[in-house]
């Protein structure tokens, strides 16, 4: 009988008590048995357990809790993606998890984000995609950061959902400006011809439900361009799986 997993768990528990972590949200010391859980139980209960009303299509926060509700924007201008699932709103203190992953290389946050996305999917009884991919970074930004935060979330998410992940399905040809402070017209121009599909994997999306993973939905323009591209090459359905969703007043 292989007792290695039990020994590893015991060793992690000893380390966590000897070297207690600080919760990434409230800064309280927490003796969690795993270094992959960077927040305490109290913060997990406060920020992630409660259901929040969101637009079915873009995950924008709504006033009324209804799994099939759509916001006014999605009703007037229907996006190319079919659904968006978000674990939380991009607001303090949860924004610190996103910033910590992106700019402080706190990769343990990626596993937490994947866990919360998976739990949200289960809570909503969402249909799992056939294949996962991640929103790619531009060449220069990838060099500067050293990793793609969306892909770091997608890796553990694929394992938690028992789904195949194709990291090279999407290619970003060039770096683009941040979308948050651009007008609608400028956003489209900014992303024009920014994404292509890797020709090696075109056969994998025909008739498939594709899940696109990212850390944050801000305007949704990037995800919409990707969904448009995926459907042009035969994807039957596109679902965005993101950790956080911004509110309209934040961009």
**β-strand 83-89 against 237-245: which pairing, if any?**
parallel
* pLDDT mean values, one per 10 residues, the chain (251 residues): 52 47 75 63 82 89 74 93 96 93 91 95 94 93 91 97 97 67 54 83 94 95 95 97 84 50
Last residue of a domain, one of 50, 70, 87: 50
For position 194, what pLDDT does the model report?
80
Beta bridge partners of 245: 89, 217
C-alpha atoms less than 13 angstroms from C-alpha of 177 in its C-beta half-sphere:
11
How confident is the model over 160-179, as pLDDT tens digits?
Answer: 999 999 999 999 987 664 55
Domain of 33?
1-50
Within this chain, do residues 213 and 113 fall inside the same structural domain, yes or no?
yes
Identify the three-state secondary structure at position 250. Answer: helix
Q: What is the pLDDT of residue 190?
A: 57
CA nearest to 244, candidates 208, 206, 217? 217
Residues 236 and 59: their CA atoms lie apart, in Å, by: 20
Say if residue 82 is in the same domain as residue 126.
yes
Residues 184 and 244 in one domain: yes
Q: Which of 106, 124, 145 is nearest to 239 (CA)?
A: 124
- Looking at residue 122, what is its pLDDT? 93
Are 117 and 168 contained in the same domain? yes
Q: Spell out where 49-174 has E strands.
A: 83-89, 131-134, 170-172
User: Could you tell me if 34 and 112 are in contact, meaning their C-beta atoms sit under 8 angstroms apart?
Assistant: no
Q: What is the torsional sign of CA 171, 193, 219, 182?
A: positive
Specify the pTM.
0.84
Tell me, yes or no, whether 98 and 35 share the same domain. no
Any alpha helices (H) in 81-137, and if so which ranges? 95-104, 108-123
Residues in the chain: 251
The dihedral sign for the CA sequence 159, 132, 144, 246: negative
4 and 76 fall within a common domain: no
The H or E element spanning position 226 is helix 221-232
Same domain? For 26 and 146 the reply is no
173 with 74, same domain: the answer is yes
> Do 144 and 95 sit in the same domain of this protein?
yes
How much is the pLDDT for 77? 93
Q: Which of 12, 32, 50 is the last residue of a domain?
A: 50
Distance CA 115, CA 240 (A): 15
3-state SS class at 127? coil
- Residue 121's domain is classified under what CATH number? 3.40.50.2020
| Angle subtended by helix axes 108-123 and 149-161, to nearest 10 | 50
Q: What single-letter DSSP state applies at residue 234?
A: T
Q: What would the pLDDT profile of 174-195 be if each residue is shown by its tens digit?
A: 766 455 554 555 555 556 578 9
For residue 250, what pLDDT is reported? 53
Is residue 20 classed as helix, strand or coil in its secondary structure? coil
Sign of CA dihedral 116, 54, 249, 194: positive
Total structural domains in the chain? 2
């Amino acid at each position: 009988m292989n007792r290695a997993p039990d020994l590893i768990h015991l060793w992690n528990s000893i380390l966590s008590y000897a070297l207690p972590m600080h919760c990434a949200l409230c800064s309280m010391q927490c003796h969690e048995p795993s270094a992959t859980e960077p927040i305490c139980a109290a913060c997990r209960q406060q920020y992630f357990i409660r259901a929040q009303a969101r637009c079915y299509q873009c995950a924008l926060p709504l006033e009324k809790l209804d799994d099939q509700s759509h916001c006014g924007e999605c009703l007037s201008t229907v996006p190319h993606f079919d659904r968006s699932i978000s674990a939380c709103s991009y607001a303090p203190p949860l924004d610190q998890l996103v910033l910590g992953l992106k700019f402080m290389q706190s990769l343990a946050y990626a596993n937490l984000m994947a866990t919360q996305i998976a739990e949200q999917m289960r809570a909503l009884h969402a249909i799992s995609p056939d294949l996962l991919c991640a929103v790619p970074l531009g060449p220069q930004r990838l060099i500067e950061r050293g990793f793609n935060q969306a892909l770091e979330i997608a890796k553990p998410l694929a394992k938690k959902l028992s789904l195949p992940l194709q990291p090279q399905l999407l290619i970003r040809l060039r770096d683009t400006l941040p979308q948050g402070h651009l007008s609608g017209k400028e956003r489209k121009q900014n992303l024009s011809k920014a994404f292509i599909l890797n020709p090696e994997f075109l056969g994998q999306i025909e008739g498939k439900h594709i899940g696109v993973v990212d850390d944050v939905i801000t305007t949704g323009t990037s995800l919409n361009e990707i969904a448009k591209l995926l459907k042009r090459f035969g994807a039957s359905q596109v679902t965005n799986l993101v950790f956080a969703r911004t509110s309209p007043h934040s961009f």
